Amino acid sequence: MAQHDAHSQGIRVLVADDERPIRYLMEKELPRAGCTVRAVENGEQALAALEEQAFDVALLDLKMPGIGGMETLRRIRAAGVGLEVVVLTGHPDVATAIEAMKLGAYDYLTKPFKLAEVEVVLRRAAERKRLRREPGARAEAVPLRPAAEAAASPIIRSQGSAMAALLATVERVAPTEASVLIEGESGSGKGLLAQVIHQQSARAAGPFLAINCSGFQDQLLESELFGHEKGAFTGAAGAKAGLLEVAGGGTVFLDEVAEMSPAMQAKLLHALDSREIRRVGGTRALRVDVRIVAATNKELQQEVRSGRFREDLYYRLNVVHLVVPPLRDRPGDIPILIEHFLQRFRQPGKPAKTVSPEAMAELAGYPWPGNVRELSNIIERVTILVPGDIIRPKDLPASHRAATPLPSLPSVDPRSLADMERQHIARVLAETGGKKMQAARILRIDLKTLNKKIKDYGIPLPPPR
């Protein structure tokens, strides 16, 4: 197979995916990010392409007819080809993607993915390849840059003093090995900040793996973190490495860490203190080398005082404490974020839309209880639905116009987070005419969670349209 040094034309990318729209998207859009792209539709063609020319990164779909992505990866590694591999997978195949990383894949992306995510992973993978080929360079050694210059994520774009202070702390802590605890409201950008910390650390060439601790029961969470041996429990058809093992040399992001049960808190604490794990059903201790960044939308110290979170684990995670300010406290950042999302969600082959001054004033006056995530969702929606090039006030959802009166609801404290969340849910329900499934999709929560919030907050359903 062909092996050459990278040339100056940018990152050379090989895409192997049997879905034509994905191949078309990569061929059309990645060159705008400085990549040269060759797209093929199966593993056989990918291996043939590697015989003909050199690439820096290969994007391999795991499910392809003929030779799939996993077998293609095995053959690439067996041939000693010096490129990084990123696997593409659907949500049900995340466990398989983790196994691919054991075989030497650099990272994985789950479908559907955003083009901006692909660009970030490609840059990191290409940098890792370059460092590996430099004489005397260690794979984990990466040049550190100021956080404000490094990350493409919108959390970095700020004009406010609160964010400036936060980023200054990130710049100091990122190069260290200290565990970091990030607190902030849902959607404020805690996960993005965790990625920035990883990207600016000496572990940037290693994996960055995230897990939402609230999404698993104890047995599954233990298996995801520590791995399991074959036959460890019903359905364990084979051995599987856990995130703490697979992310060796990199960072593990524990989102919603406050939702861990006391039993799992104890197991995590032991793993962090000893830097050893045992797979579920296993007897052999395995050394792990990961940095932990944890996040929660709760005040974790209050959870400790109430007895819901272990004090010793709290201090183990809380070496450095960061608080991400909510978007309502960063009004000067809203226009910057909107511009970022307009570029991110622009339609292929078309210029990005613009927001009229009147619409910008409406958006700037909205309290954004869902924070950056909610703003991203709204800009993505209007980018898709507005036919013209300019987004005007009439194009905004009625629920997101600053002048729109709030639904009549009993109020506890109009400044509290709970009251703002209640008002926002009521707005979305009003916008959808009481259609809860549609409202849940807009809010990016499941129907069970929405029903619970409607019940807890006593939100009346609007009459159907």
Tokens (6 digits) for 131 = 């460092």
Does the residue 314 lie in any domain?
yes
**Residues 344 and 463 grouped into a single domain:** no
Domain boundary among 323, 357, 376: 323
Residue 402: per-residue pLDDT: 56
Higher pLDDT, 132 or 432: 432
Q: How many domains does the chain have?
A: 4
Residue 258: per-residue pLDDT: 95
Rounded distance between C-alpha atoms, residue 191 and residue 189, angstroms: 6
Measured in whole angstroms, how far is the alpha carbon of residue 47 from the centre of its chain?
30
Higher pLDDT, 2 or 104: 104
**Residues 220 and 369 grouped into a single domain:** no
Does the residue 234 lie in any domain?
yes
Does the residue 351 lie in any domain?
yes
The CATH number of the domain holding residue 85 is: 3.40.50.2300
Domain boundary among 133, 166, 193: 133
In angstroms, how far apart are the furthest CA atoms of the chain?
69
**Residues 161 and 205 grouped into a single domain:** yes
Does the residue 160 lie in any domain?
yes
**Residues 49 and 112 grouped into a single domain:** yes
**Residues 302 and 179 grouped into a single domain:** yes
Closest to 68 measured CA to CA, from 17, 142, 27: 17
Does the residue 109 lie in any domain?
yes
Does the residue 6 lie in any domain?
no
User: Which element (helix H / strand E) includes 14?
Assistant: strand 11-16
User: Which element (helix H / strand E) includes 459?
Assistant: none
Rounded distance between C-alpha atoms, residue 108 and residue 59, angstroms: 9
Domain boundary among 308, 323, 338: 323
**Residues 126 and 192 grouped into a single domain:** no
Percent of the chain residues topping a pLDDT of 70: 85
Rounded distance between C-alpha atoms, residue 312 and residue 126, angstroms: 40
Is 154's pLDDT higher than 60?
no
Residue 132: per-residue pLDDT: 59
The CATH number of the domain holding residue 337 is: 1.10.8.60
Rounded distance between C-alpha atoms, residue 301 and residue 212, angstroms: 20
Domain interval for residue 448: 408-465
Higher pLDDT, 258 or 407: 258
Is 142's pLDDT higher than 50?
no
Mean pLDDT computed over 415-422: 71
Higher pLDDT, 219 or 268: 268
**Residues 191 and 211 grouped into a single domain:** yes
List of E strands, 213-334: 227-228, 240-241, 251-255, 276-277, 286-287, 291-296, 320-323
Does the residue 139 lie in any domain?
no
**Residues 297 and 318 grouped into a single domain:** yes
Percent of the chain residues topping a pLDDT of 90: 35
**Residues 88 and 211 grouped into a single domain:** no
Mean pLDDT computed over 143-147: 35
pLDDT digits (tens, 9 = 90+) for 271-286: 999 999 999 999 999 9
Closest to 96 measured CA to CA, from 125, 60, 129: 60
pLDDT digits (tens, 9 = 90+) for 343-386: 888 877 788 899 998 999 889 888 898 898 899 889 989 998 89
The CATH number of the domain holding residue 263 is: 3.40.50.300
**Residues 127 and 242 grouped into a single domain:** no
Rounded distance between C-alpha atoms, residue 128 and residue 105, angstroms: 12
Closest to 338 measured CA to CA, from 361, 319, 320: 361
**Residues 257 and 272 grouped into a single domain:** yes
DSSP 280: B
The CATH number of the domain holding residue 436 is: 1.10.10.60
**Residues 298 and 351 grouped into a single domain:** no
Does the residue 73 lie in any domain?
yes
